[in-house]
Amino acid sequence: MKIVSYNIQYGIGLDGRYDVGRIADAVRGADVIALQEVTRNNPRNGDRDMVAEISEALPDYFAAYGSNFEVNVGSRVDAGRAVTRTFQLGNMVLSKTPIHLSRNLLLPRSRSLETMNFQRGALEALIETPLGFIRFYSTHLDHRSPVERQGQIRFLRQRLLNYALEGGGLSGIPEIGLPDLPYPEAFIVMGDFNMLPGSPEYVELAGRPDHEFGMPLTADLAVDVAQRLAVADLVTWVDPERPA
């Protein structure tokens, strides 16, 4: 399987241009795509509905979107009808095969007094793949505080490991005449983690290497696949100062 994660930053590239088409061209062909900073009615990109535009640009993909917040940017009463207009920002998952269940996990946060800080989330998507059912997560962690990121990972890790116990977003649905969903242990977490390998928040998720045995492989930790396979063209993180 080919999987891709991309923080699209409201659709605006390094050249300052908004262009959903080139984003679609960059990710097209992957089996599963995780996107971050997908917005609706964002004044920074001309109030575009990126969810609709991305779905239109990639029509052969199933899609799920999770908005981490909604803030009023001009709701009004028009001819006796209430018209809701909100700025939304969140994560998106697109898949070549059906998404059977999704939910948006809102990560812990604290109020900031100087730097902008918004609600972060991890969009969970239960996908039927050629390899079986797998849970995929499009994740975006805090950009300002390693302490906050560590708390967010601690919360997320519990959701990752306790999925079968907690039941995901829905369980017991045979009661309403629908077939029960699987509760797979297998998961893949993608996204913009805003952290470096070896940082405390990285260790919280994937563990710390032992001087003799290397990275741990235990049931209570996620696995950094690129690090474990040590394949040159697999990227687990990118230094923004040296993107190549």
Q: Which domain holds residue 120?
A: 3-229
Q: End-to-end alpha-carbon separation of the chain, Å?
A: 23
Would you state the pLDDT for residue 156? 98
Residue range 15-39: mean pLDDT, rounded:
96
pLDDT tens-place string over residues 118-127: 999 999 999 9
- On the question of pLDDT at 243 being above 60, the answer is no
Question: 104 CB contacts (<8 Å, ≥6 apart)?
Answer: 66, 67, 68, 90, 91, 121, 122, 123, 124
Among 69-73, 155-159, 240-244, the minimum mean pLDDT is found in 240-244
Residue range 53-69: mean pLDDT, rounded:
98
| Domain contains 241 | no
89 to 44, 113, 198, 231, 232: CA distances (angstroms): 12, 20, 29, 34, 33
| Domain contains 240 | no
**Average pLDDT of the chain, as a whole number:** 93
- On the question of pLDDT at 238 being above 90, the answer is no
| Domain contains 83 | yes
Residue range 38-53: mean pLDDT, rounded:
96
Secondary element (H or E) of residue 148: helix 146-161
> Environment class of residue 81 by beta-carbon count within 10 Å: exposed (0-12), middle (13-18) or buried (19+)?
exposed
pLDDT tens-place string over residues 176-206: 999 999 999 999 999 999 998 889 999 999 9
Rounded Cα distance between 99 and 133, Å, is 10
Q: What is the dihedral of CA 44, 45, 46, 47, to 10 degrees?
A: -90
pLDDT tens-place string over residues 134-183: 999 999 999 999 999 999 999 999 999 999 999 999 999 999 999 999 99
- On the question of pLDDT at 233 being above 70, the answer is no
Phi/psi at 115 (5° precision): -90, 140
Would you state the pLDDT for residue 20? 97
* Chain-centroid distance, C-alpha 98: 17
| Domain contains 234 | no
pTM for this entry? 0.92
How many domains does the chain divide into?
A: 1
User: Nearest-5° angle of CA 53, CA 57, CA 59?
Assistant: 110
Res. 209 pLDDT band, cuts 50 70 90: confident
| Strand ranges inside 115-160, DSSP E | 121-129, 132-140
* CATH for 82: 3.60.10
Question: 10 CB contacts (<8 Å, ≥6 apart)?
Answer: 18, 37, 39, 42, 44, 45, 50
Rounded Cα distance between 223 and 230, Å, is 13
- On the question of pLDDT at 92 being above 90, the answer is yes
